[in-house]
């Protein structure tokens, strides 16, 4: 979660949202959250589990294409 | 009863000792059907009591709809962590357990205004041309 906050801080274009799925089960369903943490970038990129910085940035590169 | 015990308060106070620039928690609650609104508000109030530079503004999701819309908040409980500007850091639901640590770290980030990311990551992020939302789904641990 901290990495997402760091990215939000770095760029005015990035928002970082923590979502606690037990309180918002409809969002858990919508984004097919079976395990946590689950990171969803721009509704399209889904990553399971804790994400190290290089791995997240590799996924991020897809947004720049 | 306090949510944070004496030991945690001591740790948080030490962690926030370096927070020099003001940070505001804008916390949104609602009266109806909100499981952890009260606890979320109490949590940020207890944290803010541990630093002179951290404050809390409490809003109602329904009554303060205009403020909520400005911050992109559509559900409660929600927290926006704001520094000298709004960096886009939000928490929906209570940040407890492991995420409590992230909440404390977010205060330090927002206060310092420095992400601490690697130069490579900063370079890549600078290439963004459109808004991106990163959602991280968690459960209380």
Per domain, the residue ranges of chain B are 6-125
Q: What is the tens place of the pLDDT at every residue in B96-121?
A: 999 999 999 999 999 999 999 999 99
Provide the domain count of chain A.
Answer: 1
pLDDT at position B37, please?
A: 96
pLDDT of A25 over the 80 cut: yes
Expressed in angstroms, the distance from the first to the final Cα of chain A is: 25
pLDDT digits (tens, 9 = 90+) for A32-61: 999 999 999 999 899 999 889 999 999 988
| CATH class given for the domain over B6-125 | alpha beta
- Give pLDDT, residue B81: 98
Nearest of A37, A8, A22 to residue B132 by alpha carbon? A8
Nearest to A15 among B99, B106, B133 (CB): B133
Tokens 């927002």: give the residue: B110
Tell me which DSSP letter residue A34 carries.
Answer: -
Look at residue A65 in the predicted model and tell me its pLDDT: 77
What distance in Å separates the CA atoms of residue B120 and residue B25, rounded to the nearest whole number? 31
| pLDDT for position A64 | 82
* In the predicted structure, residue A6 carries a pLDDT above the cut 90: yes
Specify the pLDDT at position B140.
Answer: 86
| Chain A interface residues (partner B, CB cutoff 8 A) | 1-2, 4-24, 27-28, 31, 33, 36-43, 53, 57, 60-61, 63-64
Q: What is the CATH number of the domain that holds A58?
A: 3.40.30.10
Domain that holds residue A46: 2-64
Alpha-carbon gap: B49 to the closest alpha carbon of chain A (Å): 23
**pTM score, two decimals?**
0.96
Torsion of CA B110, B113, B114, B120, to 10 degrees: 100
ipTM above 0.90, yes or no: yes
| pLDDT cut 90: percent of chain B above it | 94
């Amino acid at each position: 979660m901290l990495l997402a906050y760091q990215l939000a801080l770095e760029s005015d274009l990035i928002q970082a949202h923590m979502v606690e799925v037990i309180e918002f089960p409809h969002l858990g369903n919508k984004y097919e959250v079976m395990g946590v943490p689950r990171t969803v970038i721009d509704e399209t990129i889904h990553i399971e589990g804790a994400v190290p910085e290089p791995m997240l940035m590799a996924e991020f590169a897809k947004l720049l294409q | 009863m306090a949510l944070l015990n004496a030991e945690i308060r001591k740790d948080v106070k030490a962690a926030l000792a370096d927070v020099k620039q003001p940070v505001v928690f804008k916390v949104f609650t609602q009266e109806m059907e909100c499981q952890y609104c009260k606890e979320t508000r109490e949590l940020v109030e207890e944290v803010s009591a541990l630093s002179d530079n951290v404050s809390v503004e409490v809003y109602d999701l329904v009554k303060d709809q205009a403020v909520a819309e400005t911050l992109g908040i559509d559900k409660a409980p929600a927290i926006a962590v704001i520094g000298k500007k709004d960096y886009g850091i939000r928490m929906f639901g209570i940040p407890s357990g492991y995420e409590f640590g992230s909440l404390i770290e977010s205060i330090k980030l927002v206060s310092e205004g420095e992400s601490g990311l690697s130069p490579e990551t900063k370079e890549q992020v600078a290439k963004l041309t459109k808004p991106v939302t990163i959602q991280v789904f968690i459960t209380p641990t």
